[in-house]
Structure 1
Amino acid sequence: MSALEAAQAALAAEHAAVYGYGVVGGRIGEERRAEATAAYEGHRARRDALRRTVRDLGGEPAASAAGYELPFAVPDTAAAVRLAAVLEDRLAGVYSDLVRAAEGPLRREAAAALREAAVRAVRWRGTGVTFPGLAERVRVRP
C-alpha cells in the first residue's frame, strides 16, 4: 500500500468517525458528553489534516458519504459507548497501515493518531488490546 492509498483510507475512516461520533453524541449520557465532544472535534481536525496530506501526496481527497451504515443499532448510552470504542478500533487499524506506508513527519503523525485512537478505545471500552491497530486483523486459532 502506498502512502497516498493509506492516507486516503485514513481520511475515509475519519469521515466515518465524524459521522459516528455524531450518533454517539446524540445517545451518550451527560457524564461522558464532554469526552464524546472532544473525540468528535479531534477527529474533525484529523480529517481536515488528512485532506491536506492527500493533496500534498498528489491525490484528490475523498469526499465524505452522505451517510454511513453503523455496525449495530445505537438506541442508548451503552450502545453509544460501544460504538465509540469500535470507531476508535477501526481508526487504529487504518493508522497502523499509514504508519507502515509513510516516512518522516507523516509517519510520526500517523503513529500519534494510532496512539490517540488506541487510548480513546481503552477509555471507552475500559480495557485495552495488546497490539492496537492489529486486533481486528489478527485472528488466533485455538
Structure 2
Amino acid sequence: MSDSEAEDRELRALQAALAAEHAAVYGYGVVGGRIGKQRRAEARAAYDAHRARRDVLVREVRDAGGTPVAAAAGYALPFPVPDAAAAVRLAAELEARVAGVYADLVRDSAGERRRAAAEALREAAVRSVRWSGESVAFPGLAERAADGTTPGAAAPTR
C-alpha cells in the first residue's frame, strides 16, 4: 500500500471515529434524559468523555487535510428508550459501537494516533462492561462476528 493510500485509509477511519463520537454525544443526551439518579454521574462522565474525544478528532481530521464530518441533526436509536433500564442498555450499545470504530482506527493508523485510538477503544470497552455487566474477549470485534458487518454509530436521521 502506498503512503497516499495509507493516509486515505487513516483519514476515513478518523472520520468514522468522529461520526461515532457525534452519535455517542447525541445518544448520551437521550441516556441522560432517562437514566436513574444513581447512575446520572456515570452518564455525565461518559458524555463529557465523548465530547472531548469528538473535539480532538475534529482537530485531527483537519490536521490530516480533511473536512470534519458534521453531526447530524438527529440519529435513529437502535431501540426505544422509555425508561432507565433502556437508557442503560443504550449506553452499553453506544460504547460497543464506539469501540468497534476505534478498533478500525487502531488498524489504520500508526504511532501516537494508534496509541490514542487504542486508549479510546479501551475506555469505550470498559464503559460498555460497566453499563452492561458483560464483557467480550476482543472489544470492538465482537460485533463483526455476530452479524458480519462493520460496527458503526447510530444512523443519522434526515
Q: TM-score, normalised by structure 1?
A: 0.97
Q: Distance in 2 between matches of 1:139 and 1:111?
A: 22
Q: Distance in 2 between matches of 1:30 and 1:17?
A: 20
**For 1:1-142, what aligned pairs fall within 5 Å after superposition?**
2-139=9-146
Can you list the C-alpha shifts for 1:57-111, whole angstroms capped at 9, x where unaligned?
1100000000000000000000000000000000000000000000111000100
Deviation of 1:139 after TM superposition, in Å, equals 3.5
Report sequence identity in percent: 72
Deviation of 1:127 after TM superposition, in Å, equals 1.2
Unaligned 5+ runs, structure 2: 1-7, 148-158
Unaligned 5+ runs, structure 1: none
Aligned-residue CA RMSD (Å): 1.0
Runs of 4 or more above 3 Å deviation = none
Q: Distance in 1 between matches of 2:57 and 2:112?
A: 13
For the residue of structure 2 that corresponds to 1:48, the secondary structure is helix
Q: Distance in 1 between matches of 2:138 and 2:145?
A: 9
Which one-letter code corresponds to 2:23 in the other structure?
A: A
Q: TM-score, normalised by structure 2?
A: 0.87
Q: Distance in 1 between matches of 2:127 and 2:142?
A: 15
Q: Distance in 2 between matches of 1:70 and 1:95?
A: 20
Can you list the C-alpha shifts for 1:25-51, whole angstroms capped at 9, x where unaligned?
000000000000000000000000000
For the residue of structure 1 that corresponds to 2:71, the secondary structure is coil
Q: Distance in 1 between matches of 2:136 and 2:88?
A: 17
